[in-house]
Chain A
Amino acid sequence: MAATYTPLATTTLGANAASVTFSSISGSYTDLVLIAQGQGTVENYAYMTFNSDTGSNYSNTILTGTGTSAVSTRNSNVTKIYLTPYYGTFYTDFSNITICNILNYSNSTTYKTSLIRAGRASTGGGTEASVGLWRSTSAITRIDITASTGNFVTGSTFTLYGIKAA
């Protein structure tokens, strides 16, 4: 059988940047997996949008463990999906890690669901899981990952994989 978990592209920032874009994404896979590890110039969170859509077409349901309690929150009719809603923030010590599964991204029939795991183990950190929705049936061809404030710093890494089902 053919290998099907394929690295598509990666970037390691050589300079501070407010956003990272994966564009011209091939539709020949079934799922995408985005893995990010980074640091902010200030403590910030990361969010993503698809196909340059900045409308209020996104929503999130989030489960967070703070180290002392578990909480759940929701964002509806928002303009982005929160990759690192709270305690998975890009802190100033590279302790953030985010893994985002974008399921059946290339079909033109369903809204697009993403499953996200993020966390930060350093002081003040926590762990979280979330599910995101983009209310569009368009195939995803572009992902923009943006810092809420400030920049992602030099050395932050962002890698996109494609998984192809038989």
Chain B
Amino acid sequence: MLIIPGIIASSYPRVLNSYESIATVTVGAGGSSTITFSSIVGTYKHLQVRYIARNTTATDSFIIRFNSDSGSNYARHKLSGDGSSASAAAASTATYMASADYPAGTSTFGGGVIDVLDYANTNKYKTMRVLAGYDANGSGIIDFRSNLWQSTSAITRIDITSNSNSFAQYSSFALYGVKG
């Protein structure tokens, strides 16, 4: 690694085991409508999902659920920019959480960083924070989102589903654990 200019440029000693890769799913040639992380251990403080995603057919949205709960136990807020205006929206007694819309197209992928806070705590509802979006050189969106799952259960499973069609090949979702 070369840094120019760098008066002080140093290599760090590694800090082990504070941020760990748990699992990664990369979509194959056939596409996939749902990405599932299951049997998530409770030994971390927080979870983070980092992804790139492309739809097989058209710009689409996400459906995200915890522990296979499809009841009306979710709420969500978002603040969005579409390149011409800013907007905000919310939903309560919802049946799912969401991330930003993601595109179709040959090589352009949406991306996101999703934080699931204190996911193993059995005394709190669970909050999921999202920074996500896509830019397709003339269209796109950037979102901040807060999502709530009104359950005190520890999260052991995350399902990320394409609302329509499927995630296209090379879409990739990586789950990490952050220790407290």
**Interface positions of A (Cβ within 8 A of B):** 1-15, 17, 19-26, 30-31, 59-64, 69-74, 76-77, 101, 103-104, 107, 109-111, 113-115, 117, 129-133, 135, 137, 158, 160, 163-166
Contacts and interface: CB of A to CB of B under 8 A. Distances in A.
Contacts, number: 214
Contact of A10 (B9, B107, B142, B170): B9
Contacts of B82: 61, 72
Interface stretch (B18-26, B62-70, B119-127): B18-26
Nearest first, the 4 A-B pairs at minimum CB distance are A14-B7, A72-B81, A63-B81, A74-B83
A25 to B, nearest CB: 7
Given A70-B79, A104-B172, A117-B131, A9 B1 contact: yes
A65 B170 CA distance: 34
Contacts of B176: 4-5, 163, 165
B52 interface: yes
B86 A115 contact: no
Sort chain B's interface into a size bin: 35 or more
B20 A1 contact: yes
A21 B3 contact: yes
Contacts of A130: 142
Nearest to A130: B142
